[in-house]
Structure 1
Amino acid sequence: MTPAPSHSEKGDYPWWLVALAVIAAGIAVVIITNDLYSQVFKVAAAGIGVTVFVTLVGFVLATVLGLAAALMALSESKLLRQVARFYTEVIRGVPILVLLFYIAFVGAPGLVWLINAICSPLISSGVMEPMLVRDLSLMWRAILALMIGYSAFIAEVFRAGIQSVDKGQVEAAKALGLSRYQRFRLVIFPQAVRVILPPLGNDFVAMVKDSSLVSVLGVADITQMGKVYASGSFRFFETYSIVAYIYLFLTIGLSLALRALEQRLRRNTLK
């Protein structure tokens, strides 16, 4: 049965996007023509690279870890299922900000101690120097926290997408003699990705916004750069207006790109 066309497919013109484009263009004109806003924009924009790096690396690692947790949750092993369930429920119950502090000031020292313990024969023989806590930068601690925090949500996205594939497809793949890996790669995942992509895209956009939390550790992202400028100039309205403008530009651009990809997948499905 062919699904009913969405409002956008019926011909509804995206006037909301036009309104946003007009507002964005107006703010851009103000930034260009006003020296104060131009200076604020240059300061805040200096943190875009850090924000993008933290988001991309954190999301890729979270996706890998989330997929592993989802496969464990769907495993035939009762132990693996229970471990995966324990992980997702605990991590989803901890706020990202709390997890950020915990990983930065508790998890990082523990990780350094574990690395030194594993490498103790090399350290005692003088082959390598013992690792210090300060060797693990605050930016990488923030990335680890975002990876762990989002992996639990992404695991549930993967689990729901994989379980949405009709069992008859899996049984047919078994009848053809495909291995477990071949069934997943050739049959299950290509069908599940259409269900997985929209919520996975939402998590990506959410991570762009939550990456601003790394500023509490002093990581020089967009928010931190704006915070430093505002605290020195007391131009809070101008600074945080520009910071919000940059984040909106990033998140809305990503949302539009992901929506276009989703519609393309839907059209390919209907062919």
Structure 2
Amino acid sequence: MENLLDIGFLIESFPVIVARLPITIGIAVGSLIISLFIGLTTALIKIYRVPVLKTISSCYVSFIRGTPLLVQIYLVFYGIPKVIYYFQTEYGWLQNVDVNIIPPEIYALLAFSINLGAYLSETIRSAIESVDRGQFEAAKAIGMSPTQMMLKIIFPQALAVAIPNLGNMFISTIKDTSLVFIIGVIDIMGQAKILGSRGLAFFEVYIAVSIVYWIVCIVVERLLVIVEKRARRYERGFVS
């Protein structure tokens, strides 16, 4: 009689899957850092209503929010080499770039950064606009430049408002990295699929990888709670 669950294989698969965890975390953290710059730039363009760029940024956000992440990964993976090849053949640009040696992790990082940047732009914009307008007027009254006002007054207060949404998006990104195996990135989900196909024990490896994702997300959630509490203390101290 066949056993429902091969406990031995499940336990043995854990260290093999966890060995790929740095790739999963690396893509998630890297895309978060890059997307913060994309999101902040897009948010400021919308807030200050920059001509032309405002329309472009609105189209970018609308397109990303209106298409599946899976499609965006494919667009980046197949589109970027095609664009590079076009410039190489038509204009002689980027001759030193060999698309055949670009690792798939780079494409995954770019796809997730572009995707997350669109969502973060709305979070950042709403956080900045939630800051009391009196703070803007006070900063102007004491002679602060727009850059000084944003760095010293607005951003610290907006950060406290944005952290919960940033945290939720980061956790979602960690889970969404399970899609990168479709372009050849061997992350924890990819490793689980490989193990499952080798041992014909897909149920066991998917249980193992789900537990790994669960533990990682719990740890990240706890860390974000600590960060949010510190940001709230800073905000209270700033306001008082």
Instruction: Compute the TM-score of the two structures, normalised by the length of structure 2.
Output: 0.89
| Aligned-partner residue type, residue 170 of structure 1 | F
| Aligned-partner residue type, residue 145 of structure 2 | S
Whether the 8 Å CA contact 1:198–1:262 is kept in 2: the answer is yes
Whether the 8 Å CA contact 1:108–1:136 is kept in 2: the answer is no
Which residue number corresponds to residue 3 of structure 2?
none
How far apart are the structure 2 equivalents of 1:37 and 1:235? Answer: 9
How far apart are the structure 1 equivalents of 2:120 and 2:89? Answer: 31
Query: Which has the larger Rg?
Result: 1
Select between 153-162 and 66-75 the one with higher mean Cα deviation.
66-75
For each residue in 1:150-178, what CA deviation from the matched residue of structure 2 results, as whole angstroms up to 9, or x when unmatched?
Answer: 10001111100111111111011111111
Which residue number corresponds to residue 214 of structure 2?
248
Which residue number corresponds to residue 22 of structure 1?
none
Shift of 1:267: 3.6
Tell me how many residue pairs correspond in the alignment.
232
**1:131 counterpart = 2:108:** no
Distance change (3 Å), C-alpha of 1:201 and 1:254: same
**1:161 counterpart = 2:127:** yes
Q: From 65, 74, 99, give the equivalent of 2:47.
A: 74
Residue correspondence of structure 1 range 1-271 to structure 2 within 5 A:
35-114=8-87, 120=93, 130-270=96-236
Whether the 8 Å CA contact 2:39–2:119 is kept in 1: the answer is yes
Moved over 3 A (4+): 111-120, 267-271
Which ranges of structure 2 fall in alignment gaps of 5 or more residues?
Answer: 1-5
Distance change (3 Å), C-alpha of 1:188 and 1:117: farther
Whether the 8 Å CA contact 2:32–2:170 is kept in 1: the answer is yes
Whether the 8 Å CA contact 2:196–2:205 is kept in 1: the answer is yes
Corresponding residue SS for 1:177: coil
Shift of 1:119: 6.0
Corresponding residue SS for 1:208: helix
Instruction: Compute the TM-score of the two structures, normalised by the length of structure 1.
Output: 0.80
| Aligned-partner residue type, residue 38 of structure 2 | L
Percent identical across equivalent pairs?
31
Shift of 1:201: 1.0
| Aligned-partner residue type, residue 79 of structure 2 | V
Distance change (3 Å), C-alpha of 1:230 and 1:189: same
Whether the 8 Å CA contact 1:99–1:145 is kept in 2: the answer is yes
| Aligned-partner residue type, residue 60 of structure 1 | I
Whether the 8 Å CA contact 2:28–2:174 is kept in 1: the answer is yes
Whether the 8 Å CA contact 1:112–1:132 is kept in 2: the answer is no
Whether the 8 Å CA contact 2:156–2:235 is kept in 1: the answer is no
Whether the 8 Å CA contact 1:108–1:141 is kept in 2: the answer is no
Which structure has more relative contact order (CA 8 Å, sep 6+)? It is: 2
How far apart are the structure 1 equivalents of 2:168 and 2:81? Answer: 28
Distance change (3 Å), C-alpha of 1:118 and 1:154: farther
Shift of 1:92: 1.2
